[in-house]
Amino acid sequence: MLQDNFGREFHYLRLSITDVCNFRCTYCLPDGYQGKPDSAFLSLDEIRRVIAAFAATGTSKIRITGGEPSIRGDLPEIIAAAKATPGIRTVALTTNGYRLPERIDRWAAAGLDALNLSIDSLDPGVFAAITGHTRLRELLDGLDRALALGIPRVKVNTVLLRGHNDGQIDRFLDWIRDLPITLRFIELMQTGDNADFFRSHHVSGEALRQRLLDAGWRPLIRGHNAGPALELHHPDYSGRIGLILPYSKDFCATCNRLRVSALGHLHLCLFSEQGIDLRHLLQEDAQRDELIAFLRDRLTDKKVSHFLHEGFSGGTRHLAMIGG
């Protein structure tokens, strides 16, 4: 098992397959994507080698991220390759939902176990103002189709934004009363490119946590390969709530994930520096042992915290770089 100097074990890899995103979310890429062409990103063979090496060290969960991973036409093949890797028990995907109704069947057939869909508002106008798209209905239809297909774990991600959606909590709660999904409220994080936006729109999630507890929501026990969310349930609701509060005390104490960017860089933390190049170790299957030794050695550099509470954002200019 991969382990750092603080005794944290890493069962979970977030693997970005592209930096490209076709949305223009105000908190991430308000001016749209501007960067390298697809040819710069990891090939399918390189992706297979990354997954195989991590699986050989005890990683059991792979989350495919971007950018927007559905930009890649070979996404079904990537899902299938991850699912076929010995040791990988969960293949998850985070998506903005673009053209989801016509794509989700192929992803499910390829072996997708978990879907995270970004929906920052249930109000079409607010959704368009945040994302730059008028596709809310399309996302909701895709969500319904994912549930109909029986994908085991379906979640919706909502970034809390002062002045945009922070007044819509009750509407979201009503939505999941009879909908068997996990709705995750994510506290806005400061990155290199969004400092002014962060100061204007950051909402502390702590008040929301207390509000939910006061209303009878109760914490669930986290699984060993779960993400950092505090997950809550309520007997009157089919859905659950997840809270991702990166500015909370000891947020990093249970860290169990590592990240590989679409350019083949290992990121020990979402807010580390530019990443550690490992692409030279992804060219041949015979390099697996060398890659594993490389990973173990680099983990000794992992810090105890992300230091977000000190205003540190590292080399992360925007979340599309390594998928959040």
Give tens-digit pLDDT for 3-25: 999 999 999 999 999 999 999 99
Q: Give the mean model confidence (pLDDT) for residues 277-291.
A: 97
Q: Give the mean model confidence (pLDDT) for residues 173-187.
A: 97
- For residues 226 and 297, which has the higher predicted lDDT (pLDDT)? 297
Q: Give the mean model confidence (pLDDT) for residues 241-257.
A: 85
Are the C-beta atoms of 322 and 16 separated by less than 8 Å?
yes
pLDDT at 310 over 70: no
Q: What is the pLDDT of residue 120?
A: 98
For the chain, give the percent of residues with pLDDT over 70: 90
Residue type at 292 in one-letter notation: I
CB atoms within 10 A of CB 315: 15
Q: Which residues contact 117 (CB under 8 A, 6 or more apart)?
A: 95, 96, 97, 100, 139, 142, 143, 146, 154, 155, 156, 157
Q: What are phi and psi of 129, to 5 degrees?
A: -65, -35
DSSP codes, 15-76:
EE-----S---TTT-TT---S--GGGSPPHHHHHHHHHHHHHTT--EEEEESS-GGGSTTHH
In tens, the pLDDT along 97-141 reads 999 999 999 999 999 999 999 999 999 999 999 999 999 999 999
Q: Which of 146, 155, 163 is nearest to 118 (CA)?
A: 155
Q: Which residues contact 119 (CB under 8 A, 6 or more apart)?
A: 97, 127, 136, 139, 140, 143, 156, 157, 158
In tens, the pLDDT along 186-232 reads 999 888 678 888 899 999 899 999 999 999 999 998 766 566 789 99
pLDDT at 249 over 80: no
**CATH number, span 2-321:** 3.20.20.70
For the chain, give the percent of residues with pLDDT over 90: 75
Q: Report the run of H or E that residue 117 belongs to, with start and end.
A: strand 114-118
Both tokens assigned to 125: 């106008």
CB atoms within 10 A of CB 86: 7
Angle value at C-alpha 210, between 209 and 216, nearest 5 degrees: 95
Residue type at 135 in one-letter notation: R
Q: What is the pLDDT of residue 311?
A: 58
Domain extents in the chain: 2-321
Three-state SS string across 149-172, please?
HCCCEEEEEEEECCCCCCCCHHHH
Q: For the chain, give the mean pLDDT.
A: 91
pLDDT at 304 over 90: no
DSSP codes, 171-192:
HHHHHTSS--SEEEEEE----T
For residue 238, is it left (φ>0), alpha (ψ between -120 and 50) or beta? alpha
Residue type at 105 in one-letter notation: D
Q: What is the pLDDT of residue 302?
A: 87
In tens, the pLDDT along 64-84 reads 999 999 999 999 999 999 999
Q: What is the pLDDT of residue 251?
A: 75
Both tokens assigned to 259: 């990240």
Confidence of residue 37 (pLDDT cuts 50, 70, 90): low
Question: What's this model's pTM, rounded to 2 decimal places?
Answer: 0.92
